[in-house]
Amino acid sequence: MMITDVKSYRKPDYAIDDVFIERWSPRSFLEKEVPEEILLTILEAARWAPSAFNEQPWRFIIAKTAEEREKFYPFISENNLAWCKKAPVLTLILSKKTRNGEPLRSHSFDAGAAWAHMALQANKCGLITHPMTGFDFDKAREMLEIPEEFAIEALVAIGYQGEKEDLPEGFQEREQPNGRRPIKESIFSEKFGKEYK
């Protein structure tokens, strides 16, 4: 398994747990099956994400066999398909847009929390995840028979990390963890745009 020295690419402004720094989104996957127990552990972590009214709006459509994954390929962009075909698991994340017949404003926010839990647990299990929105949402809805009451949020590749040299050439130079802008550029005091002090 390839080990990336993530800390040489990422330096937090303040002390945080390493799990947040070590999670990143590689594109190089080994063609190695993810054991069912580990996959369910990752999804179990998502299950415990917080949500408004404890509504748990997230749903996951899993493709883990070659036959199942091939059903996803027609709606994935060529650019993403070039690398994600090696991923042993593809997971489409959905969120239910309503609660008791009324709009649930937090459905995407809550599904995002579930995705973050998945990604961190996958990292703890020695796996990588790569989320993407480069696919045809309408085609995915039609092909996978997704009801209109569910929003399609993202598609996630899950598996074991491969070598960057196994990627198509155009992706190899991008196969490293990204940094983040300074924390002070993301937070304001009292109102939007007012510098945090």
Each residue's pLDDT tens digit, 163-182? 999 999 889 999 999 999 99
Dmax of the chain from CA atoms? 55
What DSSP line would sit under 7-44, residue for residue? Answer: GGT---SS---HHHHH------B-S-PPPHHHHHHHHH
CA pair distance 132, 84, nearest whole angstrom? 10
Q: For residue range 134-162, what is the model confidence (pLDDT) as tens digits? A: 999 999 999 999 999 999 999 999 999 99
Q: For residue range 3-25, what is the model confidence (pLDDT) as tens digits? A: 567 777 788 889 999 999 999 99
Q: What is the mean pLDDT of residues 70-95?
A: 97
| H or E segment and range at residue 113 | helix 107-124
Find out whether 52 and 157 touch, Cβ atoms under 8 Å. no
Going from N- to C-terminal start, the domains of the chain cover 33-163
DSSP structure class, residue 52? G
Question: Which of 1.10.3720.10, 3.40.50.2000, 3.40.640.10, 3.40.109.10 is the CATH number of 33-163?
Answer: 3.40.109.10
> What's the confidence (pLDDT) of residue 4?
67
CA pair distance 192, 76, nearest whole angstrom? 37
User: Does the pLDDT value for residue 47 go beyond 70?
Assistant: yes
- Picking from 38, 67, 53, the residue whose alpha carbon sits closest to that of residue 158 is 38
Q: Quick one: how far is CA 128 from the chain centroid? A: 9
pTM higher than 0.85: yes
- Report the chain's mean pLDDT, rounded to a whole number: 95
- Picking from 23, 144, 172, 143, the residue whose alpha carbon sits closest to that of residue 83 is 172
